[in-house]
C-alpha cells in the first residue's frame, strides 16, 4: 500500500513539473511572439503603404488591404526620380572598403595585444578601451576638419576614412586570440612557424566566427549610416543609400507622397532582408559562437 502511495506521489510530482514546464514554455513563446509582432509591425507597414496610391493612404477610415496594388508603379516612379544605382554603388564601395580596412588593422593589433608583451602595453590598450567612451557625435567636427584638410570632402574615401580604425573589433579579436591555447602557438614556434604566419594560418581560422559576426555588424552599420555621409558630401553622385533616401523623402514633390517614400525605403532595406533570409543560419551560428549580442 505504501509503495503505491509513494508511486502516486512521484507521478503527481512529475505531472506537476511537466505542467509547470509547459506553462513556462507557452508564456515564453507568447512573449517572443508579441515582441516579434512589435518589431515586425513597422516593416509590415512599410510594405503595405508602398502598395497604395496617395488617395488610398489618406483615406478614412484607414484600410489595411490596398484598394489597388500600386507597388510596381510606385517603384517605377521612385527609380525615375533618383539615381539609385549610384547610391547602391557608393554604399557598397564604402561598406566593403571600411570592412577590409577594419580587418586589416584590427586583427594584427588584437594579435599583438594578446600575444606580445611590450612597453606601455596596458596604456595603449586602455587608450583603445577609452575610445568606446567617446561618442561619434563628439568626433564630428575634428573628423570634418581633418577630412577637409586632406581635400577629401565630397569623396567616398572621405566617408570611409574615419571608420577605418575600430576599437570594438580590436577588443573582440583580442579576446578571441586569448582563448586559443598558448601550447598551440608554442608548438607552432617549435616547428619554425613565425608569428605572422601563425596569425594567418592558425589564428585567423580559429577566430573565424568572431570575424564573421563583426563583419556582419560592420556592413549593416555602414549600410545604414546617415549622419556622417550627409555632412561630408554635397553632390548627388557621392550620396549613399541612407542619405539618398532622406533627400528623396524631403523633396518638395514627394514630401507627402508616402507611397513613393515607403517604396524607396524598400529599395534600401531589401538587400539586408534578402541576406537575412538566405544566410539566417550562418548569421545565428556566427553570433552564438562569438558571444556578440
Q: Please state whether the predicted TM-score (pTM) of the whole model is above 0.95.
A: no
> 36-71 pLDDT, tens per residue?
888 888 888 888 888 888 777 777 777 777 777 888
Residues 249-277, mean pLDDT to the nearest whole number = 78
What is the model's pLDDT at position 282? Answer: 64
Spell out the residues 6+ positions from residue 102 whose beta carbon is closer than 8 angstroms to its own. Answer: 163, 164, 165, 166, 169, 214, 218
Rounded Cα distance, 247 and 86, in Å: 14
Residues 191-199, mean pLDDT to the nearest whole number = 86
What is the model's pLDDT at position 293? Answer: 43
User: pLDDT-based confidence at 283, cuts 50/70/90?
Assistant: low
Of the chain, the percentage scoring pLDDT greater than 90 comes to: 30
pLDDT of 10 higher than 80: no
Residues 16-45, mean pLDDT to the nearest whole number = 84
Rounded Cα distance, 107 and 104, in Å: 6
Set of cell numbers at residue 92? 557598397
> 131-163 pLDDT, tens per residue?
888 888 888 999 999 999 999 999 999 999 999
Amino acid at each position: 500500500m505504501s509503495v503505491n502511495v509513494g508511486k502516486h506521489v512521484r507521478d503527481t510530482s512529475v505531472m506537476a513539473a511537466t505542467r509547470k514546464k509547459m506553462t513556462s514554455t507557452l508564456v515564453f513563446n507568447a512573449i517572443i511572439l508579441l515582441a516579434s509582432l512589435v518589431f515586425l509591425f513597422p516593416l509590415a507597414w512599410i510594405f503595405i503603404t508602398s502598395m497604395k496610391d496617395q488617395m488610398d493612404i489618406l483615406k478614412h477610415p484607414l484600410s489595411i488591404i490596398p484598394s489597388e496594388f500600386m507597388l510596381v508603379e510606385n517603384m517605377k516612379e521612385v527609380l525615375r526620380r533618383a539615381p539609385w544605382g549610384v547610391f547602391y554603388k557608393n554604399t557598397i564601395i564604402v561598406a566593403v572598403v571600411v570592412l577590409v580596412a577594419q580587418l586589416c588593422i584590427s586583427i594584427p593589433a588584437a594579435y599583438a595585444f594578446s600575444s606580445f608583451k611590450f612597453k606601455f602595453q596596458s596604456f595603449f590598450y586602455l587608450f583603445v578601451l577609452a575610445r568606446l567612451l567617446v561618442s561619434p557625435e563628439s568626433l564630428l567636427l575634428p573628423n570634418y576638419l581633418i577630412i577637409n584638410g586632406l581635400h577629401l570632402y565630397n569623396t567616398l574615401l572621405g566617408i570611409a576614412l574615419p571608420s577605418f580604425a575600430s576599437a570594438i573589433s580590436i577588443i573582440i579579436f583580442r579576446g578571441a586570440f586569448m582563448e586559443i591555447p598558448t601550447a598551440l602557438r608554442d608548438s607552432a614556434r617549435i616547428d619554425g612557424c613565425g608569428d605572422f604566419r601563425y596569425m594567418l594560418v592558425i589564428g585567423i581560422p580559429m577566430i573565424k566566427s568572431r570575424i564573421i559576426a563583426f563583419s556582419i555588424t560592420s556592413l549593416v552599420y555602414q549600410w545604414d549610416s546617415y549622419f556622417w555621409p550627409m555632412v561630408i558630401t554635397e553632390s548627388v553622385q557621392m550620396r549613399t543609400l541612407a542619405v539618398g533616401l532622406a533627400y528623396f523623402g524631403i523633396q518638395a514633390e514627394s514630401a507627402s507622397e508616402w507611397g513613393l517614400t515607403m517604396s524607396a525605403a524598400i529599395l534600401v532595406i531589401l538587400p539586408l532582408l534578402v541576406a537575412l533570409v538566405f544566410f539566417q543560419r550562418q548569421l545565428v551560428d556566427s553570433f552564438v559562437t562569438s558571444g556578440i549580442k
